[in-house]
Amino acid sequence: MTLRSGSDPRRRGGWLPDPESVAAWVEDLLRNVAVAGDDVPRHPAIRAFEDLVQRDALVRMRLERMIAEVPQGPGHPARHLNDVPEMLRLLNAVLTTAPEFSPDSMVMTPVQAVLDQTTATPSGFAAYRDPTVNAALGEVLRAWCEHLDSPASLSVLDDSEAGWMSQAAAEAIGIEQYQHDPDDEHWGFTSWNDFFTRRFREGERPVEAPDDDKVVVSACESTPYALVHGVQRQDRFWLKTQPYSLQDVFAGDPAVEEFVGGTVYQAFLSATDYHRWHAPVSGTVERAFVVGGTYFSDADTEGADAAVPQDSQGYMAHVAARAVILIRAHDPVLGLVGFVPVGMADVSSCLIDEAVVPGARVEKGDELGRF
């Protein structure tokens, strides 16, 4: 059995709105950047990206080409990037912002929004797989994460129309099911990231069959994407059907042999979902590690002229930044169970809890980490 959806989870999951709304959001950002002028200091991560573009001719060529290749004309939103310097100015502006709430056109991943039109161009496919470009974007994301970890990012945690404490936002995320202080100015959260990874109230998500080791539970609050049996050790994951290639998903870990012929279940998280991970089974941790990978690379099998990034979830499981947690289940029939949280675009941090180390015993439902 194979279950897949036919639209981009980044849009369907509430991370990005429709292309026209993304274009309108970028236009607003462009106006703000223009008003601020050229005297705005460049973040060191942006200056490093600028230096890369200037010294590497191939990088500059790919980035310029991917902007030029964005489809134009009837049926396509207006192209919102004119050149690489403009792209870098927009990314620089993003680094001091936090995602705002909107019931209609919410942009939860602003870096992805800036790059959105370019990722599915012929040169964009190549650029976002380039290790030097990927590393530069990684530094940009880390810089943005520093802002989101700071109290300055609390500016969007208020009861304004675009604030996450507004009635519409509170209903959208179901704030009553999460731990928070309704009397505090910012609900008791210390930063945007603290809010983004908010915890459920005690008893809000009871673990199914806690005393039955044969029952596997979902590790995340998520929507099913694929269920595939008989997966292979090595396969061509870049094909249109995006078959799973276990040695690539597990980044060459020797335990891959135990999974050959087994089953892969993949799901994706929505923007307003709970963003922590929990043990799907009870057992003993054998390995837990983070895999460096891409941030904005999409599968190119839907056609190089696509203006909207296609459904690349299967492909991303093989190449994107991710974590790998291997648990030897108490139930011998289950054997070794692998959990692979996969980062996506702006939300690529995979943070494994300090207690999740080889030899640690976990019970089904215990926290493993967070995005």
pLDDT digits (tens, 9 = 90+) for 244-271: 999 999 999 999 999 999 999 999 888 8
The letter for the amino acid at 274 is Y
Q: With respect to residue 167, please indicate whether it lies within any of the assigned structural domains.
A: no
Token look-up 């296609």 returns: 310
* pLDDT of the residue at 76: 81
* pLDDT of the residue at 6: 44
Kindly report the pTM of this predicted structure.
0.89
Phi, psi angles (nearest 5°) of residue 286:
-95, -40
| Residues in the chain, total | 371
In this prediction, residues 200-222 reach a mean pLDDT of: 94
* pLDDT of the residue at 237: 86
Q: Are strands 351-352 and 367-370 parallel, antiparallel or unpaired?
A: antiparallel
CA dist 28 and 32 (Å) reads 6
The letter for the amino acid at 131 is P
Q: With respect to residue 261, please indicate whether it lies within any of the assigned structural domains.
A: yes
Least-confidence region, from 20-29, 214-223, 361-370: 20-29
Q: Which two tokens stand for residue 181?
A: 């202080």
Q: With respect to residue 174, please indicate whether it lies within any of the assigned structural domains.
A: no
Other Cβ atoms less than 10 A from the Cβ of 4: the count is: 15
* Burial call 277-299: b when 16+ CB within 10 Å, e when fewer: bbbbbbbebbbbebbebbbbbbb
Helix 131-148, helix 57-68: angle, nearest 10:
70
* pLDDT of the residue at 311: 67
* pLDDT of the residue at 305: 34
* pLDDT of the residue at 62: 98
CA dist 3 and 286 (Å) reads 30
Percent of the chain with pLDDT over 70: 92
CA dist 112 and 107 (Å) reads 9
Q: With respect to residue 154, please indicate whether it lies within any of the assigned structural domains.
A: no
Check whether 228 has a pLDDT greater than 80.
yes
Helix (H, G, I), strand (E, B) or coil at 49: helix
CA dist 351 and 348 (Å) reads 10
Q: With respect to residue 254, please indicate whether it lies within any of the assigned structural domains.
A: yes
The closest alpha carbon to 129, from 300, 250, 244, 284, belongs to 300
Q: How many domains does the chain have?
A: 1
In this prediction, residues 315-329 reach a mean pLDDT of: 96
In this prediction, residues 194-202 reach a mean pLDDT of: 96
Strand partners, 325: 288, 339
Q: Which domain holds residue 302?
A: 223-370
Cβ–Cβ under 8 Å, residues 298 and 144:
no
Percent of the chain with pLDDT over 90: 75
Q: With respect to residue 236, please indicate whether it lies within any of the assigned structural domains.
A: yes
Q: With respect to residue 140, please indicate whether it lies within any of the assigned structural domains.
A: no
The overall average pLDDT reported for the chain is 90
In this prediction, residues 162-174 reach a mean pLDDT of: 94
Q: With respect to residue 121, please indicate whether it lies within any of the assigned structural domains.
A: no
